[in-house]
Amino acid sequence: MKPAVPSLTLLTFIAMASPLALNAFVPAMPDAAVALNTDIATIQLTFTLYLFTLAVGQLLSGQLADYYGRRPVILTGFALHLVGSLLAALAGSIEALIVGRVLQALGGSAAMTLARTILLDTYGRSGAASRMGYLVMAIAVAQAIAPTLGGFLNLWSGWNSIFYLSVFMGSLVFLLALKFLPETTAEKSTSLSFMAVFKRYSQVFSSGQYLGYVLSTTALAAAFYLFVGSSPYLVANQLEGNSADFGVWFLSVSFSFIAGGYLSTHLAKFLSVDQTILLGNSLAILGAGLLLSFALTAELSFTRLFFPMALIIFGRGLSQPNAQLAAISSSSGAAGTASGVMGFIQLFIGALIAQSVPYLMSFNINWVFGGILLATCLAFFTHFYSWKINQQATPNV
């Protein structure tokens, strides 16, 4: 009997839930800080700890999915995500809000890890290459609409109402997954013992090629987190805008990600995975250079802030789906473990960077823009390292 194949549409909805929850609250953070009588560094924890919990959660969910299977881990994750969203919606203190965000992220981590793992389970590396771009576009759509919806919800009915959006989205995806998501694990792990887990992690980290691809996609994510951590406050304080202004201008960044992800699915017919990554990383460096140049030579404006970042994120849209796919498929460990480790590294570093933003801004905003340029350069060179290993491992025919 032919095994059931999960719908790509369902996988895109699964992939969208956590980015929607993460980014919808971003434009409301300055107002939430005032409402809860807290400072920027403390309210930033609602973003930072979300990322950190996603990092740890992806590490755990990858292991659990290799042992128990993809379906039960995803369903349990969405249940936790719903509980956290409701708690955040009802929060009357910064402590309750942080707890709600942590539970949101812990549940959402399974979706982020396993959507791409299920794609690889189902289609293999060659078949997943063209489809991975659609998952990236789904994440980009969530990132595009989330700040805009969150910004207007914050203006119309207060920051708490933003979390009811996640309650609705999480409930919808949970019910769809419960009915339509099949199990795709071909061969489950036989043990969750410490030694078995350690062995799988050792297999993953033994691949220099894997680590290079992971660091490349992580560096571009770091550039994004530097921007997201600083831009709401730049809009509110220096550009004298509100949360809706941020949400509308952020569309230029997010739709650039969509365009890059869409183009990556078509470039797979003409360029190799590594050539597409190289193109995306090169465009990201160009955008980062423009952003820093504008900051150093001209007065900050909405256009000078968002359009160079849009170019960076367009490059990321080209690069990320290919780098993630190359990383998972180049690892000698289990796919779920490899995907979870990649998510952990990316989000753990992202959490550290996000929490550093208020301190960098206290010195000079150019420190943030310089960090974005440094991150894009790191993405370029770590990918080049992995590409060389790949060329050496693949003899000419």
What confidence tens digit (pLDDT) does each residue in 339-375 have?
767 877 887 888 888 888 888 887 888 889 999 999 9
**pTM above 0.95?**
no
Confidence of residue 379 (pLDDT cuts 50, 70, 90): very high
Distances (CA, A) of 204 to 210, 211, 319, 327: 7, 9, 21, 10
The whole-number average pLDDT for the span 286-298 is 91
| Cβ-contact 24, 166 below 8 angstroms | yes
Q: Are the C-beta atoms of residues 301 and 239 closer than 8 Å to each other?
A: yes
8 Å CB contact between 22 and 16: no
Is pLDDT above 80 for 188? no
144-160 residue pLDDT tens: 788 888 888 888 888 88
Sketch out the chain's domains with CATH numbers: 8-181+191-393 (1.20.1250.20)
For residue 319, what are the CA distances in angstroms to 195, 302, 381? 35, 26, 13
What's the DSSP call for residue 158? -
